[in-house]
Amino acid sequence: MHTHLVAALDIGGTKIAGALVDRDGSLLVRARRSTPAQEDAESVMGAVGDVLAELTSSPLWAGVRALGIGSAGPVDASAGTVSPVNVPGWRGFPLVERVGAVTGGVPVVLVGDGVAMTAAEHWLGAARGYDNALCLVVSTGVGGGLVLGGKLHRGPTGNAGHIGHISVDLDGDPCPCGARGCVERLASGPNIARRALENGWRPGPDGDTTAAAVAAAARAGDPVATASYERAAQALAAGIAATATLVEIDIAVIGGGVAGAGDILLAPLRRSLRTYATLSFVQRLTVAPALMGTDAGLVGAAAAAAAAVPAGGANGARTVAAQ
């Protein structure tokens, strides 16, 4: 049996997804459970175990050479532990060891979900063909990851590229992380909605106060809704420009639910970028929407695992994101 497959786990606050993935990025076997996010550590691990049981019972499991985990953060890839903000029962939880105990000798690779999404976009999505890229996930929070010199740049603990918690407003509002004026505090979906409400925007008859509802209002011409997206775009642009200036990136890929606002977010983002990305070597920076959709976490976890545990010989997976 050729070991040409990798297994992938995508662990978030609402769902735990798993898949067996081939070298083209196709998901051959899928499994999924809801995350019992408010229960104790063993209950959450039980859901992971159920997903793994479905994967390991597949006849294809014999072809798996590595397992990649993309988890909501923070993660500590060097210790093999995770502490997802939205799963309070897991603090310093030894996920790599626990998964390894189930999968019997298959190497386990852990990355944060922003890094996983970046690996997916670099392998098969909007960052394909770019050697230097920043990928952002703009959603309930703001995460991200980096490709530098053609390789996924994870950082020692697997959190590199976490653009949501760099400050772009020195004396700005306190952020739950402990700092002030973070990109996330200005640009996440809940903060876009909060700012619109604070400035007088009111939802329609359905009472929907999500960022998506604010985007719909902006599209219909509401100036307060438009301004809230412009402020988010400004924060993202400042963070992207800072990143580009530090490490020279060619493209910024914008994904996550808030990116579903399309040009309501991307048009002011591109405008703001001209204000902040001014030096000659960052002026040609491209901004593109993400392409990988809801499977990005699984595909990215698979890419990270495949890169970390290259297959030998002619059956080797192509190296897409080697560390």
Contacts to Zn ion by CB under 5 A: 165, 175, 177, 179, 182
Q: From the CB of 187, what's the least distance to Zn ion, in Å?
A: 11
185: left (phi over 0), alpha (psi -120 to 50) or beta: alpha
Tokens describing residue 206: 């359905």
Q: From the CB of 112, what's the least distance to Zn ion, in Å?
A: 15
Q: From the CB of 165, what's the least distance to Zn ion, in Å?
A: 4
Counting Cβ atoms within 10 Å, is residue 197 exposed (0-12), middle (13-18) or buried (19+)? Answer: middle
Between CA 317 and CA 163 the distance in angstroms is 30
Q: From the CB of 101, what's the least distance to Zn ion, in Å?
A: 34
Between CA 47 and CA 17 the distance in angstroms is 10
Between CA 49 and CA 244 the distance in angstroms is 40
**Would you say 98 or 162 has its CB closer to Zn ion?**
162
**Would you say 139 or 226 has its CB closer to Zn ion?**
139
> Backbone phi, then psi, for 65, in 5-degree steps?
-105, -15
Q: From the CB of 179, what's the least distance to Zn ion, in Å?
A: 5
**Would you say 68 or 239 has its CB closer to Zn ion?**
239
Between CA 140 and CA 138 the distance in angstroms is 7
Q: From the CB of 185, what's the least distance to Zn ion, in Å?
A: 6
Between CA 69 and CA 9 the distance in angstroms is 5
**Would you say 18 or 141 has its CB closer to Zn ion?**
141
Q: Closest Cα partner for 252 from 281, 279, 287?
A: 287
Tokens describing residue 128: 């394909």
Q: From the CB of 176, what's the least distance to Zn ion, in Å?
A: 7
- The answer for residues whose C-beta is within 8 angstroms of residue 220's C-beta and 6 or more apart is none
Q: Closest Cα partner for 20 from 29, 11, 10, 9?
A: 29
**Would you say 173 or 198 has its CB closer to Zn ion?**
173
Neighbours of 207 (CB within 10 A): 8
Q: Closest Cα partner for 135 from 124, 122, 123?
A: 122
Q: What is the DSSP letter of 146?
A: E
**Would you say 175 or 237 has its CB closer to Zn ion?**
175
Q: From the CB of 103, what's the least distance to Zn ion, in Å?
A: 34
**Would you say 56 or 191 has its CB closer to Zn ion?**
191
| CB distance 69 to 109 below 8 Å | yes
**Would you say 49 or 172 has its CB closer to Zn ion?**
172
